[in-house]
Amino acid sequence: MALVFRPAIWRNGVLLELPRPVPTLRIQETWDAERFKIPLVDGDKLVGHSRNGVDLNVQGQVGSQAGDLTLSEEAMLAALEALRAALHVSPTQDRYHFYVYYDSDTNTYRHFRNCSTTRFEWDLSDSHLFTYSATIHAEDPVLYLTGPDGEA
């Protein structure tokens, strides 16, 4: 298995790889439960555990886009504008799949579904290397293994 870290966005048949390098991708999972406490008795009881959606925190730099170097400010800005458009979710736009890994041996991806962006920040202050960070929320906490079209 040749598993490769390849963060990307898949929506409506279009794949956009995130500008690279991506030095940080943190995945945060949480659970809900009801807590019950009996007065004058030590301890408590948690019941009804359920997994929430997943938050993905991505930090990247615009050094390359889909394997092509982005050497000018114009090229870096164009890569960020494409990423900004891909991350956008509105009432008329579908949510997207967020791909994390690609397996070249089996031509499959590991990804989260029903994703929407909750925060996107980009820093243009260093004219040699633009940076960005995004928080993406996946409503579905499952990490799927699928083919290149995003379907099982």
Residues facing residue 17 across a β-bridge: 8
Least Cα distance to 19 among 98, 97, 79 occurs for 79
Radius of gyration of the chain (CA): 19
Residue 149, pLDDT score: 64
Q: Does domain 3-29+51-146 have CATH number 2.40.30?
A: yes
The mean predicted confidence, pLDDT, of the chain is 92
Q: Where residue 151 falls among pLDDT bands split at 50, 70, 90?
A: low
Q: Which pTM value belongs to this model? A: 0.87
The angle subtended at Cα 146 by Cα 141 and Cα 152, nearest 5°, is 90
Tens of pLDDT, residues 26-61? 999 999 999 999 898 999 998 989 999 999 999 999
Q: How far apart are the first and last CA of the chain?
A: 18
Q: Which residue ranges make up each domain of the chain? A: 3-29+51-146
pLDDT band per the 50, 70, 90 thresholds, residue 71: confident
